């Protein structure tokens, strides 16, 4: 009985396999060179094209991830804004996180939303930074970055009005399962233990209220 010799892979099959796993290994590169030469094709040009397509695919994946994160952030900001009754609260500034090649507007480093409580002729300013975490693991929640926390503390000192981090956890950005209001002056680190979050918890279904006397957001 004669054993059939396995049919050698075509260049198309090898390239398809490389693109499927998204990585060009040295072993795969060697195989491509061998198959390309056996088919009378330019191995160097083929490998260069594969690398180019893999890089473009990686850039597209990263862009899609950035777009998803931006959408989640904006959806949560909209959720937070709707917690402020427009009869009493005015939005003075709603920052946009637009940047290119490390260049961005000064407002990008400021809290997301700057508001004022309007009571007759009086106005009481404050600001909120919106953070949503989908499903944080472990006992500690990182609600911001250390350099961001420093910037918010500097901002509240310079502007002389309070800043709060509104933290959403779980659910969806437009409908979080848990909601917390963290006053910047209470925070020394960008991380809190879950046990320490309890006193900052806010009923998800309730609107926000700013006490102009104590400068507390509830």
Q: Residues 22-41: pLDDT tens digits?
A: 677 777 888 888 888 877 77
Residue 38: predicted pLDDT: 79
Do 95 and 58 share a structural domain?
A: no
Whether residue 74 lies inside any domain: the answer is no
Whether residue 107 lies inside any domain: the answer is yes
pTM score of the predicted model = 0.66
Do 193 and 123 share a structural domain?
A: yes
Whether residue 69 lies inside any domain: the answer is no
Range of the domain at 47: 11-62
| Domain at 207, CATH number | 3.40.1350
Buried b (16+ CB within 10 A) or exposed e, 174-206: eebeebbbbebeebeebebeeeebeebebeeee
Helix (H) or strand (E) holding 192: strand 191-193
Do 109 and 36 share a structural domain?
A: no
Rounded to 10 deg, the angle between the 11-21 and 43-81 helix axes is 30
Q: Which of 45-49, 52-56, 145-149, 159-163 has the lowest mean pLDDT?
A: 52-56
Q: Residues 162-188: pLDDT tens digits?
A: 999 999 999 999 999 999 999 999 999
Number of domains in the chain: 2
Region 99-106: mean pLDDT is 45
Q: Is residue 151 within 8 Å of residue 168, measured between CB atoms? A: no
Whether residue 104 lies inside any domain: the answer is yes
Distances in whole angstroms, Cα of residue 108 to Cα of each of 101, 151, 152: 14, 11, 12
Do 105 and 190 share a structural domain?
A: yes
Nearest to 196 by CA among 213, 183, 209: 183
Do 100 and 21 share a structural domain?
A: no
């Amino acid at each position: 009985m004669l054993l059939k010799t396995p049919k050698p892979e075509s260049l198309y099959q090898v390239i398809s396999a490389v693109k499927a796993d998204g990585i060009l290994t040295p072993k795969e590169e060697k195989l491509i060179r061998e198959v390309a030469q056996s088919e009378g094709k330019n191995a160097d040009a083929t490998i260069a094209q594969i690398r180019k397509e893999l890089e473009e695919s990686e850039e597209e994946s990263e862009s899609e991830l950035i777009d998803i994160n931006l959408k989640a952030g904006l959806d949560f900001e909209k959720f937070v804004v709707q917690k402020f009754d427009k009869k009493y609260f005015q939005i003075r500034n709603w920052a946009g996180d637009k940047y290119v090649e490390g260049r961005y507007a000064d407002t990008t480093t400021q809290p997301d939303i700057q508001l004022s409580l309007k009571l007759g002729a009086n106005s009481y300013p404050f600001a909120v930074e919106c953070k949503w975490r989908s499903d944080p693991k472990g006992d500690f929640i990182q609600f911001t970055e250390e350099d961001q926390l420093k910037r918010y503390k500097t901002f509240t000192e310079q502007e002389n009005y309070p800043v709060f981090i509104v933290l959403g956890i779980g659910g969806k950005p437009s409908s979080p399962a848990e909601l917390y209001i963290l006053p910047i002056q209470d925070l020394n680190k960008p991380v809190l233990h879950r046990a320490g979050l309890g006193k900052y918890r806010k009923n998800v279904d309730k609107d926000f209220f700013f006490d102009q006397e104590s400068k507390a957001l509830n």
